[in-house]
Amino acid sequence: MNKQPSQSDLNIQQIDPTLYNEDLAPLKPEHRTWGAFEIFNVWSNDIQSLFGYTLAASLFLSYGLNGWAVMAAIILAGIIVMFLVNLTGKPSVKYGIPFPVMVRASMGTRGANLPAMLRAIVGIFWYGVQTYFASTAVALLITALFGVGNGGTFLGLSGVAWLSFVIVWLFQVAIFGQGIERIKHFLNWAGPLVYAVMVVLMIVVWVQAGSELLPAIGTIFSGSGEQGGLGAFLAIVGTMVAYFAAVVINFGDFTRFVKTERQMKLGNLLGLPLNVAFFSFIALIITAGTLVLFGEALTNPADIVERVDSLPLTIVAALTFFAATVGINLVANFIPPAYDLANLFPSKISFKMGGLITAVIAFFVGALWISVISQIGVPGFVNALGAIVAPFYGIIVVDYYLIKRQHLNMQELFSSVPGSSYYYVNGWNTRALIAFGVAAMFSLSTVLVPALASLGGYGWLIGAGLGGVFYYGLMKRFKAAPVMPEQKAC
């Protein structure tokens, strides 16, 4: 990451060096280069992965709902997520701080390490897994051009698969090593490119399906809703919200680079409800086209490419899948752990070093995904951690808007002096811990308790809501530490 300028609004002599480095320090407005287009591309890369396409396409087929109801549920989910991230993104736009620093205000200067560490574990794990899935696109390209190789495997991966995995891993490290500006440029390039390819694929399918396409779309849109009704509608909304949940909590990691709140909100509007609706429409057309062309609705893009059996299409699709999956990996699984790890030991771990640690650990996760990790239930454990993190959203939002009244003291966020605003009890806000623990019991039970499995889709929302409610009650019942006068935003 490019070295940030010295933050003159902080008194360096009065900060705790174990809480500060230049990557965590408030970023001044004149050094922010992101606008609405960059935020739009954060969301474009988030949804335009292999999994994102499959999810959007399968929602039209899985719940027995009328297609218009499915589209409405998807758009509603986009609106909800837009509202959620506008709340978590605003303080970082105002003060220029990343998520692990922002959460110090509610959890305490030391307590912030708990949500940061949990979020880092989830991010590192899925970074490794997504690196593997991105490598399958490269393997598809290599195989199409040079053949499948000798067929030998090691740890469940062929020689081509290993080569592809290493290429993707090195590519991502190379981008990250050049700093946040290079990541921004990649996202700005990948988002529109993937959209262009998806639109072209939609047009090709539309032309090949001809007059039979509209009846096929009608078949998808004629669902009676008898299989679920309102429950199915809410399940789709919850599923889509949960899909974006990984970015919702730490959205400040991106908005700290945005020039104004207005640009953040415009980027969220374009990138969420409008983007999700248009992308889902593309997925719908292509899915209906596969019903005409192949006699069955295909929701996995890789299956569509395999059926077409065209070398030019395979090459374009492989590059597109690669770009899309690397994009979501950088957004959801690389940048957040880099900041979270830097927050653990700021004097020893920079943002760049945190990213390298993330990459090294994730290499082994991805390499062992086929032979070990996917076989022993580790994904369930990580999903449980993801559910546990949900209450932190409610705690952060309630603390900033209702308890702190949108006023933070930047100097005190980097101070461990007893009696300072965010010191609480030895750097831990015990009331926040209690609120988190009680709410997390519910959100975790939606993952682990079979009787509550039906709530799994929107357990994240309920867990976040409970975290906020419990936190507000505890902070109001027991007088909170006084809030210092607001410092001028950096």
Q: Write the CATH number for 26.
A: 1.10.4160.10
CA 190 from centre of chain: 16
Q: Give pLDDT, residue 136.
A: 85
Q: Give pLDDT, residue 482.
A: 46
Averaged pLDDT, 402-415: 94
Lowest mean pLDDT across 7-11, 181-185, 212-216, 263-267: 7-11
Residue 436 placed within a domain: no
Which tens digits make up the pLDDT trace of 332-371?
Answer: 888 999 999 999 999 899 999 999 999 999 999 999 988 8
Q: Give pLDDT, residue 263.
A: 97
Residues 181, 184, 185, CA angle at the centre, nearest 5°? 90
Averaged pLDDT, 31-47: 91
If pLDDT is split at 50, 70 and 90, which confidence band does 164 have? very high
If pLDDT is split at 50, 70 and 90, which confidence band does 96 have? very high
Residue 229 placed within a domain: yes
Q: Give the chain's domain count.
A: 1
Handedness of CA 93, 336, 383, 130 (dihedral sign): positive
Residue 417 placed within a domain: no
If pLDDT is split at 50, 70 and 90, which confidence band does 382 have? low
**Percent of the chain predicted with pLDDT > 90:** 40
Q: Give pLDDT, residue 213.
A: 82
Asked if residue 92 has pLDDT above 60, the reply is yes
Query: What are the φ and ψ backbone dihedral angles of 202, each rounded to 5 degrees?
Result: -60, -45
Residue 416 placed within a domain: no
More confident residue, 479 or 42: 42
Residue 482 placed within a domain: no
Asked if residue 50 has pLDDT above 90, the reply is no
Q: What average pLDDT does the structure give for the chain? A: 85
Residue 256 placed within a domain: yes
Q: Could you tell me if residue 149 is left (phi over 0), alpha (psi between -120 and 50 degrees) or otherwise beta?
A: left
Asked if residue 395 has pLDDT above 90, the reply is yes
Asked if residue 449 has pLDDT above 90, the reply is no
Residue 431 placed within a domain: no
- Kindly state the greatest CA–CA separation across the chain: 73
- Domain of 304 in residue numbering reads as 12-382
pTM, to two decimals:
0.86
| Residue carrying the six token digits 């461990």 | 416
The three-class DSSP label of residue 301 is helix
More confident residue, 486 or 170: 170
Residue 30 placed within a domain: yes
